[in-house]
Amino acid sequence: MIITDWIHSIAGFFIILSLSLGVEASPIFHHKYWLFFTLFVGANLLQFGFTKFCPLGSILKALGVPEKRS
């Protein structure tokens, strides 16, 4: 997997997890404040659309995840 694959996978996982923890109808509901984490992930995805900068992408690059398929 390349950096963009990891970013989409991790963002999707965090959105599903935070919605599961923040929506009262969920069996693993914890507190409604978890919805702020969903907002944070969405805001990062939105700002990436405009700036092409992703903090997670920088972390993954430093960890040696490839940017392009070989």
Are residues 18 and 34 in contact, defined by beta-carbon separation less than 8 angstroms? yes
Q: Classify residue 67: in a domain, yes or no.
A: no
User: Considering the domain boundaries, does residue 33 fall inside one?
Assistant: yes
Q: Which domain holds residue 56?
A: 3-62
For residue 53, the model assigns a pLDDT of 95
Angle made by CA atoms 3, 10, 31, in degrees to the nearest 5:
160
Above 90 in pLDDT, residue 25?
A: yes
19 domain-assigned: yes
Residue 32 within a domain: yes
User: What span, in angstroms and rounded, lies between the C-alpha atoms of 3 and 69?
Assistant: 10
Q: Is 10 a member of any domain? A: yes
Tell me whether residue 20 is in a domain: yes
pTM: 0.89
- The total of structural domains in the chain comes to 1
pLDDT band (50, 70, 90) for residue 70: confident
